[in-house]
Each structure stands twice: as C-alpha cells, then as structure tokens.
Amino acid sequence: MLKTVLKSSVFALALLGLAACSSTETQPGEEPFAVPEPEAGNGGVETSGLGQSQGLSQSELAEQQARAEQEARDAEMATLREVRTFYFEFDQSIVPPDSHMPLKAHAAFLSANPASQIVLNGYADERGTKEYNLALGERRAKAIERFLVVNGAGTSQIEVVSFGEEFPVDYGHNEEAWSKNRRVVLEYK
Amino acid sequence: MLTYRGLLTWTAVLLMTAGLARADLVIEITQGTRSAIPIAVVPFANETGAGLSEDVASIIGENLLRTGDLKPLARDNMLSLPSDGEQVIFRDWSVLGQRYLLVGAVSRSVGIYRVRYELFDVQSRQRVLGKEIAGTESQLRDIAHSISDLVYESLTGIPGVFGTRIAYVTLQDRKNKPRYVLEVADADGRRSQVIFRSPQPIISPAWSPSGTKLAYVSFEGGRPAIYVQDVESGVRQKVASHRGINSAPNWSPDGSQLAMTLSKDGNPEIYVQNLRTNALKRITNHWSIDTEPSWSPDGAELVFTSDRGGSPQIYRVKASGGTPERLTFEGKYNARPRYSLNGEELYFVHQQGGSFHLAQMNLQNRIPRILTKTGMDEAPSVAPNGSMIIYATQRDGQGILSVIGVNSGSRYFLPALDGDVREPAWSPYIRR
C-alpha cells in the first residue's frame, strides 16, 4: 500500500519534473520574441512635447504620433543591429535564443536595403581538431544565414566564411575563454 | 645528467646553437624507456686540422637518444676516447655496462670531408658496421643522420627516420599582428626553412608520397583554398578554391590524387581530385559534417570524421565511394584519423573527460587505447618507419609539438623558440 503511494507520488513528481523541464526548455526560446520596452530617452521624448502643442488636428496628431513611434522603432532596431556577435554552445550550431531579436533586426534591414551585403564569419573554440572546427564554424555561420533568410534577407546578400579555431577573441584555455570564441561575427561590407 | 627513477626518466635539453633560422625547434626529451639499449657514441676524432662546424657524434647520440630505443652514454662517463677499432679496450666499455660502441673520425682532403665510423658489439667484440661516407662540410649533418639511420637499423631492425623532415606551422605575435609561417625542418627540428608565410591562417600541411611537395590550406584573401607547393623550387599552384570550405588535403599513396573537404555543395563533403585532370569525384553525401579524409596505405579506402551519428566519429569508405561504415563507438569525440604504416591500426584524436588525447585502435578488434598523457592533443602524423608519431599539444598555454614512440613509450617535445608551433606533418622517405 505504502509502496503504491510512494510509487504514484514519485510518478507525480516525475511528471512535475517533466513539466518543469519542458517549460524551461521552451521558455528561453519564446522570451526574446516579446518586444522589449523601448529604451527610456529614445522613444517617449517626442510625444510628451507634442501633447502640449496646440492647433494640431486629430489626424496631424496621429501622424506625429505614428512618426514618433516609427522613429522609436527605428532607433530600437538600430540598437538591436549593433549586436553583431552571436555565441554558441560546445559542438553546437543552434542559433541561440537571445540572438533572435538582433538577427531579426538585421534581416529586416537587409530586406529593406537589398544592396546591403554582409559576411558571416564563423569560429570555434580550440578544443578538438582544426578541420572539424573549421566545418563547425561554417555550420554556425550557416545557421545564422538560414535564420536571416527565413526572416527576409536575400541569400545573395550573405557570404559565409569559417575560420575554425583561428583568431580567438580570448587566448585563455578555460570555459570562460572558449565560450567567447564559439561565435559568429556579422560584418556589413 | 641522467636521472634513473622507476621508468628511466631524463631531461636532456639540447639547446641548439643560435645564429640559425630562429624558428628552429628545441628538443626536450622527457621520457625514455626501461628497455633502451646502452650504447657509447664516442666523440669522433677531428683529423681535418681545422675546426668543424658540426659535432657528428653528438648529432648521432642525440638522434639515438630521441628514439627511446637506445640510451647513449654521457661523455663525462667515458674512460677513453678511441677513434678506431685498434684503440678500443672492450673491458672498459663492458664495465660501463655498454652493449654497443660507436667510434669514428672526420678527415678532409681538397674540401671533401670523409667520415669513417665503426660500430662494435662490446660483449662479442665483433665489428657490426664499418664504413666511410664523404660529402661537403655543409653535408656533415646529413652524414650524421645517415650514420644514425644505419646504426639504428642494425640494432633494432627498424629503418631510421633521421634523414626525414617535418613540416609544421608556427604562429608568431598571435595577439597583435599574427604571422603564420609554414616551415620544413630536419626531423630533429634543425635547419628550418620557410616555405610560405601569411598574416592569414595556414593549416593542414600534407606531404606528397615522394616527399617533394606539400599540400596545405591557406586563408590568404580571407577564404580557405588548397595549394600544392614544390618544397625545393617554391613553385606553387592553387588546386581548390570553390565557394565555402576547401580544406583537409591528403595525398593518395600513388600521389596522383588528393582527397579533400569541400563545402561547395552546401556542407562539408569528402571529394577526391585527380591532380592531372583536376576532375573531382564526390565520395560522401550527407547533411552532416564530413571531413579529415585519410587514405589507407593500399589506396583502397578512406577514413574520415563525420558527425552524422550525432557526434564526431570515425568512418571508413571505399576510395571509389559507397556507404561509409562507422568505426569508433567509444566516447563522444573521435576525429582526424591516420592509418598506421601497415594499415592495421588507426591513430586519432579521442576526447576523454575534458581532455583530448591521441588514441590507437586496431581495425580488427576495434579496442581503442589512449597513447598520450598530454591534454590538448591533435594532428597526429606517423613517421615513415611507423615507430613514432608527431602531434600538436599545449604546454603553459603555448602550442608545441610532441613525439611519442608507438611501442617504446618514449616521448619528447619540440617547442618553438618563439611563438606557437602546430600542424606537424612527418615527411615520407625523401627521394632526392
């Protein structure tokens, strides 16, 4: 009797554990899709001034408002596009969730500016063999390329180059250094 | 100079004379073997009447010491310095526990140097070898290497590799203005020569079977491409520069084809390029990473690294193509395979815990065995006599080369005097 109770409670716990696991697994992937609040000082500035101005029609006001919002969005996108380095786990080439927003901003820019061209430089940490790491660097850069293309960039706008484990950012021989070196760097030509 | 502790462990740092090319490597022997044969290499008499640029006996002694199979006697312990058989008092050498004795002399006539040498079995008092080799003064090192080869082979039955060369890449000033230099040196790290230098990476040098050419990957222009360069003339040719990765060149045993990794069709695949017609044949076809091809000694098969099973493992495929067969199952990371001389074993990089070691696996029983004690090991390259492997590792955060005796268990390091050294490739016997 006690045994079955124990068993079922263990089972329940296991279920809870599973639920916890699955929720933590999916959440980081979804989180970045939530649009972050615009930075203070960027967005709100213009609109507060406009509220006091008189003699503007409703439509003019709305237009001003829309323009201000657009500017705020542009500023936000520009800020996101300043993120040009994307980090990976050991022997992994999954586009990290926290780079989704910046990459979408780059993709939107490339889509709006078809003449723009970028190079994606892929790198690996020093562990393992040079040739496998060269391939891994390329796979990482290609994962970023795919993400950009899915989000609107043109394939002809993107070039992929891998340097493998060469040119590390950090010459240390520990996880702290390695985590900085497993990266893809996006460069506008 | 020699300390004896359980396993014979000695540290003989043989600092090379300055004034030579600065990228020469320095040899540090860290471990010999218990079973090493004692041999006395007596300083060769100088009968030239002038100073000599090379100490022939010292070169021979250092060569033999590095193999781990022979244990040269320190000069300070010698009771006499005979230079020919007539002068030898065998009892003295017997008392010193020596099994073999090498004596010799260098003479000169009209610019030609003659090196005479004799090898004796101390116990039987028999002469094992006796010969004279002639050459110019600049060939004294080559002569010393030839004598080392003959002595080593007559005592162990294994051909020596003292006259062979190693290619490697040094990286200087890596943090500020990196300079990659592809170099070729004697197997002892001396007489290094620059083959190619670039501010962009150079990786994966591979000797042609004739020992006259090197294939390598250079990132000059910001993209990897495969080049083949004639070592003596310096003439080079770009052989592969497709979109994406062009890398991991490896020569077929007959020298007519180059196996390589190309990602021109989307992801890294193994190809074979005919070097006369430049025709390409695709060997693998899989969405995963396929790279680091290496030919079997009979040219019938290729082994390579693939992560098609979820982690990098070693696979084998017919050189004509077909379905690859997975060879390694132990551990999460097995890569960069190279065949042993007889084709029965594989040497490769194996991850254990957080460390990367060289491992050896017999292709029949498929049981891997870890060979190295260092921790960031890669790029194994087998000596042409099959008895030693050179590989890249790290010490105090610096890239150095290391050599291990496959059977003797001996070890030595070849650090660069300056900067990192990596990507070693041991030459075949060189047909000059």
Position of tokens 């992994």?
Answer: A92
Pair A68, A91 in one domain: no
Quick one: pLDDT at residue A54? 60
Cα separation, A103 vs A83, in Å, equals 8
Pair B261, B375 in one domain: yes
Pair A122, A141 in one domain: yes
Pair A75, A126 in one domain: no
Q: Do A128 and B333 touch (CB under 8 A)?
A: yes
Residue B214's domain is classified under what CATH number? Answer: 2.120.10.30
CB-side neighbour CA atoms (13 Å) of B109: 3
End residue of a domain, out of A31, A55, A82: A82
Choose the mutation target among A90, A93, A94, A132 for the interface with B, i.e. most B CBs under 10 Å. Answer: A132
The boundaries of the domain holding residue B78 are 35-156
Strand partners, B326: B315
Strands B70-72 and B37-41: parallel
Strand partners, B25: B416
Pair A51, A123 in one domain: no
* Residue A148 located in a structural domain: yes
CA-wise closest residue to A131 among B414, B338, B402:
B338
Pair A47, A121 in one domain: no
Question: Scanning every residue of chain A, which has its alpha carbon at the shortest distance from the alpha carbon of B268?
Answer: A135
Pair B236, B277 in one domain: yes
Quick one: pLDDT at residue B183? 96
Pair B195, B312 in one domain: yes
Query: Would you place residue A20 in the very low, low, confident or very high pLDDT band (cuts 50, 70, 90)?
Result: very low
Q: Do B356 and A164 touch (CB under 8 A)?
A: no
* Residue A161 located in a structural domain: yes
Q: pLDDT of A39-52, one tens digit each?
A: 444 443 344 444 45
Strands A118-123 and A158-164: parallel
Cα separation, B358 vs A69, in Å, equals 60
Q: Give the distance from residue B305's alpha carbon to the nearest chain A alpha carbon, in angstroms.
A: 8
* Residue B226 located in a structural domain: yes
Which residues on B lie below 8 Å from A139 (Cβ)? 267, 289
CA-wise closest residue to B314 among B393, B380, B255:
B380
Pair B263, B352 in one domain: yes
Position of tokens 């009447």?
Answer: B49
Pair A59, A69 in one domain: yes
End residue of a domain, out of B156, B183, B209: B156
Quick one: pLDDT at residue A121? 98
Q: pLDDT of A26-38, one tens digit each?
A: 333 333 333 344 4
* Residue B409 located in a structural domain: yes
Three-state SS string over chain A comes to CHHHHHHHHHHHHHHHHHHHHHHHHHHHHHHHHCCCCCCCCCCHHHHHHHHHCCCCCHHHHHHHHHHHHHHHHHHHHHHHHCCCEEECCCCCCCCCHHHHHHHHHHHHHHHHCCCCCEEEEEECCCCCCHHHHHHHHHHHHHHHHHHHHHCCCCHHHEEEEEEECCCCCCCCCCHHHHHHHCEEEEEEC
Cα separation, A104 vs A173, in Å, equals 33
Residue B76's domain is classified under what CATH number? Answer: 3.40.50.10070
Contact B422, B171 (CB under 8 A): yes
Quick one: pLDDT at residue A14? 41
- Region A109-128: mean pLDDT is 97
Quick one: pLDDT at residue B23? 64
* Residue A14 located in a structural domain: no
Length of chain A: 189
> How many domains in chain A?
2
CB-side neighbour CA atoms (13 Å) of B16: 22
* Residue A30 located in a structural domain: no
> How many domains in chain B?
2
Contact B292, B281 (CB under 8 A): no
Cα separation, B120 vs B329, in Å, equals 50
Which residues on A lie below 8 Å from B268 (Cβ)? 135, 138
Pair A111, A184 in one domain: yes
Quick one: pLDDT at residue A23? 36
* Residue B9 located in a structural domain: no
* Residue A99 located in a structural domain: yes
Cα separation, A133 vs B378, in Å, equals 12
Which residues on B lie below 8 Å from A135 (Cβ)? 245, 261, 263, 267-268, 289, 291
| Average pLDDT over all residues of chain A | 79
End residue of a domain, out of B156, B178, B196: B156
- Edge to edge, the sheet with strand B313-318 lists B290-295, B301-306, B313-318, B325-326
The torsion angle over the Cα atoms of residues B238, B240, B243 and B245, rounded to 10 degrees, is -110
Q: Do B376 and A138 touch (CB under 8 A)?
A: no
* Residue A134 located in a structural domain: yes
Q: Which residues contact B84 (CB under 8 A, 6 or more apart)?
A: B103, B104, B105, B116, B118
The boundaries of the domain holding residue A67 are 40-82
pTM of the prediction?
0.85
Pair B305, B353 in one domain: yes
CA-wise closest residue to B201 among B175, B226, B179, B186:
B179
Q: pLDDT of A81-98, one tens digit each?
A: 999 999 999 989 999 999
Cα separation, B88 vs B51, in Å, equals 25
Long-range contacts of B350-359 (CB under 8 A, 24+ apart): B351/A128, B356/A127, B356/A128, B358/B389, B358/B391, B358/B404, B359/B334
Cα separation, A96 vs B20, in Å, equals 50
Pair A72, A102 in one domain: no
Q: How far is CA A13 from CA A17, A21, A181, B138, in A?
A: 6, 12, 39, 80
Burial B423-432 (b: 16+ CB within 10 A, else e): bbbbbbeeee
Pair B277, B181 in one domain: yes
* Residue B432 located in a structural domain: no
Category of B49 on φ-ψ map: left (φ > 0), alpha (ψ -120 to 50) or beta:
left
* Residue B285 located in a structural domain: yes
Pair A170, A152 in one domain: yes
SS3 B316: strand
Quick one: pLDDT at residue A5? 43
Quick one: pLDDT at residue B34? 64
Q: Which residues contact B19 (CB under 8 A, 6 or more apart)?
A: none
Pair A114, A185 in one domain: yes
Query: Would you place residue A147 in the very low, low, confident or very high pLDDT band (cuts 50, 70, 90)?
Result: very high
* Residue B40 located in a structural domain: yes
Pair B236, B201 in one domain: yes
Pair B149, B172 in one domain: no
End-to-end, the C-alpha distance of chain A in Å comes to 71
Q: Which residues contact B49 (CB under 8 A, 6 or more apart)?
A: B108
Q: Give the Cβ contact number of residue B355 at 10 Å.
A: 15
Which residues on A lie below 8 Å from B261 (Cβ)? 131, 135
Q: Which residues of chain B have pLDDT under 50?
A: 1-22
Q: State yes or no: pLDDT of A3 exceeds 90.
A: no
Q: Which of residues 129-188 of A touch B (CB under 8 A)?
A: 129-132, 134-136, 138-139, 142, 160-164, 166-167, 171-173
Pair A165, A100 in one domain: yes
* Residue B251 located in a structural domain: yes
* Residue A141 located in a structural domain: yes
Cα Rg of chain B, angstroms: 23
CB proximity B269 to A under 8 Å: no
SS3 B265: coil
Pair A100, A184 in one domain: yes
Q: Give the distance from residue B103's alpha carbon to the nearest chain A alpha carbon, in angstroms.
A: 45
Q: Do A130 and B244 touch (CB under 8 A)?
A: no
Contact B185, B230 (CB under 8 A): no
Q: Which residues contact B185 (CB under 8 A, 6 or more apart)?
A: B24, B25, B165, B166, B168, B191, B192, B193
Quick one: pLDDT at residue B418? 80
Q: Which residues contact B288 (CB under 8 A, 6 or more apart)?
A: B267, B306, B307, B308
Q: Do A167 and B178 touch (CB under 8 A)?
A: yes
Residue B203 is inside which H or E element, if any? strand B202-207
Pair B189, B305 in one domain: yes
End residue of a domain, out of A52, A82, A112: A82
Pair B190, B301 in one domain: yes
End residue of a domain, out of A16, A49, A82: A82
Q: Do A173 and B311 touch (CB under 8 A)?
A: no
* Residue B16 located in a structural domain: no
DSSP assignment, residue B246?
Answer: E
Pair B135, B178 in one domain: no
pLDDT more than 90, % of chain A: 66
Quick one: pLDDT at residue B1? 31
- Show the tokens assigned to B79: 């009771």
Pair B141, B171 in one domain: no
Q: How far is CA B31 from CA A38, B3, B74, B375, B404, in A?
A: 64, 11, 16, 17, 9
CA-wise closest residue to A76 among A47, A108, A120:
A108
Q: Give the distance from residue A166's alpha carbon to the nearest chain B alpha carbon, in angstroms.
A: 7
Residue A173's domain is classified under what CATH number? Answer: 3.30.1330.60
Query: Would you place residue A59 in the very low, low, confident or very high pLDDT band (cuts 50, 70, 90)?
Result: confident
Q: At residue A13, what is the residue type? A: L
